[in-house]
Amino acid sequence: MLGQLLAAAALAAGSPAARDDTLYLGADLSYVNEMEDCGAVYRDRGKPVDPFALLKAKGGNIVRVRLWNNPDWTRYSNYDDVLKTIRRAHAAGLKVLLDFHYSDDWADGEKQRPPAAWAKLDTDAQAKAVYDYTSEILGKLAAEGLMPDMVQVGNETNPELMGGVIGEPIHWERNAKLFNAGIKAVRDAGKASGTRPKVMLHIAQPENVMPWFDQATVAGVLDYDVIGISYYRKWSKLGIDGLGTVIAAAKERYKADVIVVETAYPFTNDGADAAPNLLGPDTLIPGYPATPDGQRRYLIDLTQQVVTSGGIGVVYWEPAWVSTQCTTRWGTGSNWENAAWFDLHRHEALPAFDFLRHAYRRARK
């Protein structure tokens, strides 16, 4: 404990980046290209719309996009697909958060699988691979004039980066070396391009934030600007108030900005296809029914709690993952259509978009 406190104090005494006064409100739109290729047409008041332009028109200001290293099982979320997504976001006037998974597949709070090409490398070689790959991607984006505004070094990295599973101990000497390689690559790419993308580290569920960042601080993972939190009530022990308590505590202890970078809520318990809904009745919070208005009020109240607690925003996970006739690895259709921002069958925009332009009360400084 003493070591943790000393390390935290050392961080506080340093020179962290200036606090961000922007309120980031937006969504992860990584599925849009695939859904449109599958025939999805998104509508607002009956008229076809571009989801990126709609997000901006409704008051959003940021798009998150995931990147896998070599996803040979899909043609999406690779570099070319990410390039297309960022171009669309910038064309709509939106900021971009780039989410490096450092995996060929989903990396999340349960497991972190290394890219196949890096799996047999030792720690030093893996750290070099992380640095080189991150530098290469950001360098190519910078050359296109598409440098992201924020960069996630890993996605829901509760387990050890590139190889850990939940419940296993984290080898922090290795973990820190990998994280610091990715962070340095972002800093160096920013300098080379004349930009300064913010560095985000991302943990799933608020109750895991303080333990993880205490250990990261002791291990020497210090040079980040933003703490990203996934908050899904289905998988968290904490209510919305508890989330707010964690946000305030993390902001104070680690001298970093804090954002809810993933959340979602169902507008119905029905489905449009045979693929089971991941967010069913077990995810509901009293007072927020599975209705379009319940979804809208959840987002407004959650965001107000984030703002009141000193957080800098909320990013919704996959509001455009609607049901189509395409087949994913989990079945035909979508496992998330009941938590999208578009209705089940015509893909008409729902009231959830209202949270983007709601007048939130800022916390007193």
- Residues with a known catalytic role: 156, 262
**Pairwise CA distance, residues 330 & 5, whole Å:** 45
Question: Which residues is 204 bridged to in the sheet?
Answer: 230
Give the whole-angstrom CA distance, residue 178 versus residue 161.
Answer: 7
Give the separation between CA 172 and CA 176, rounded to whole angstroms.
6
CA-based nearest residue to 315, from 303, 298, 297, 301: 303
- 125 contact partners, CB below 8 Å, separation of at least 6: 118
Q: Helices 172-193 and 123-143, interaxial angle, to 10°?
A: 20
Listed in sequence order, the residues at least 6 apart from 205 whose beta carbon sits closer than 8 Å to its beta carbon are: 109, 158, 229, 230, 231, 232, 235, 236, 237, 238
Q: With beta carbons less than 8 A apart as the criterion, state whether 294 and 265 touch.
A: yes
| Region for 102 from its dihedrals, namely left if φ exceeds 0, alpha if ψ lies in -120 to 50, beta otherwise | left
Contacts of 90 (CB under 8 A, 6+ apart): 96, 146
Run of H or E including 298: helix 292-308
